Every structure is written in structure tokens, then in C-alpha cells.
Structure 1
Amino acid sequence: MNVLNFDFDSQPIADAKKDVICGVVGSGNLEVLVSPLENSAQSRFVVDTSVTGFDHIWQAVLKDFSERYAVGGLEFKLNDMGATPAVVSLRLSQAIHILAEQAHG
């Protein structure tokens, strides 16, 4: 397994106090676990992947996501089993929507 770590400056998220899990670990899929961080100005991504040689793709997809959403103060742990960039973006967006529902639910 290959473990990648990325930190990005990000706009702080409001009211993210609970952990979130979405997706599944399975062929071509991805599981995302989200937890609060103390530093609300940064987002952290830890990617555990079975695929090597795509660090630059991961960085680009995760940077785009962290710029699109206010995710400062969140750590994302991604368990990847060969997900495409589109699946990665989908799972991350799902996690943000779950967080929003929890905050307003």
C-alpha cells in the first residue's frame, strides 16, 4: 500500500463537530472518513492507495476539492482501491453534504 499525505490552506468549515464515513472499500471504489482538526485554516488528506505513481493526480484532485469547498479544519482519510478521479470527487462531495446535513439536521 502507498500512503500519501497532503495539506492545503482552506477556508474554515462551520460546525463540523462529528465524524463522517461514506463510500466503501472495494474494487474501483473509495471510502472517505472525515474528522475535525484543530487548525481551521488547513485541510489534511491522508490517502491509503493500492495504486502507485499517481501522486500528482491525487494532489491535483484534492487541491481542486479543497479550493472548491470550505474544508479548513477537516482531515480526510481516503482508503482507495483504484478509484478514478471522478469517483474521488464524488465521494468527497458526498462527505461534505453529509456534514452539512448533520449541521442543519
Structure 2
Amino acid sequence: MQTIEFEFPGGRPAIQRAHIGVVGSGDLEVLITPGSADLASVRVRTSVDGFDEIWRNVLSRFFTRYGLTGSIEINDFGATPAVVSIRLLQALDQSTAVGTSTGEH
């Protein structure tokens, strides 16, 4: 088990908590908590050691493109970069949309 931490600048703050995915074979969960308005603090806990550079590249692309900020925790169990990207987009949508956590539209 490995823990990797990153920080990325941004300007799109999470406005509510988000919880996407599950920790299971080939999948991961993403938890987002509102925090800094100009910085994303990312902690990755992964079952696969030695992929620091791949994590850095995948996350850098996401945060450069979308600018999400806040506290982000990723709990990984062997997800591919494509799955990571999908889960991050789902979490972005949930954490920046008004009313989604209460079922409001």
C-alpha cells in the first residue's frame, strides 16, 4: 500500500462534498471536501506501488483542464488511468453542482 500526495493550483472550488465509486478490484473511490479556493490537495492511497509518475501525469492533466480545488482523497485498488479520469469527472460534477447532495434540481 502506498500513499502519494500532490498539490495543484486551480480556480474552481468544490462547493459541496462528493463521494464517487468504491474501493474494489480495478476501481477506486474519490472523496472531495470543499477547502482552499485556489489549491487542490490530493492524497492517493493505492494498492499498486511504483506508479507515482503515472498518477502525477493523470492528475496533472485533470487539474490543469478543470481547475477543481479543495481536499481530494483517492482510494485506489488497481484502477486504470481511464477509470481514474471517469471517476474524477463524476466527482467534479457532483462537487460543483448546486443541490445534488440533497436531491434538489
Structure 1 residues without counterparts, runs of 5 or longer = none
Structure with the larger strand share:
2
Match of 1:82 among 78, 88, 104: 78
8 Å CA contact 1:12, 1:42 repeated in 2: no
TM-score by length of 2: 0.88
What whole-Å deviation, never above 9, does each CA across 1:27-86 have from its counterpart, x for those lacking one? 00010000011x2111111000000110000001011110111312x1110000000000
Q: Judging changes above 3 Å, is the alpha-carbon distance between structure 1 residues 89 and 75 closer, same or farther for their aligned structure 2 residues? A: same
Match of 1:21 among 7, 19, 22: 19
**Structure 2 counterpart of 1:12:** 12
Q: What is the alpha-carbon distance in structure 1 between the residues aligned to residue 93 and residue 12 of structure 2?
A: 15
TM-score by length of 1: 0.88
Sequence identity of aligned pairs in percent?
Answer: 43
Q: Secondary structure at the match of 1:7?
A: strand
Q: Judging changes above 3 Å, is the alpha-carbon distance between structure 1 residues 34 and 55 closer, same or farther for their aligned structure 2 residues? A: same
Q: What is the alpha-carbon distance in structure 2 between the residues aligned to residue 98 and residue 36 of structure 1?
A: 12
Structure 2 residues without counterparts, runs of 5 or longer = none
Give how far 1:87 is off.
0.3
Q: CA RMSD in A?
A: 1.5
1:42 pairs with 2:39? yes
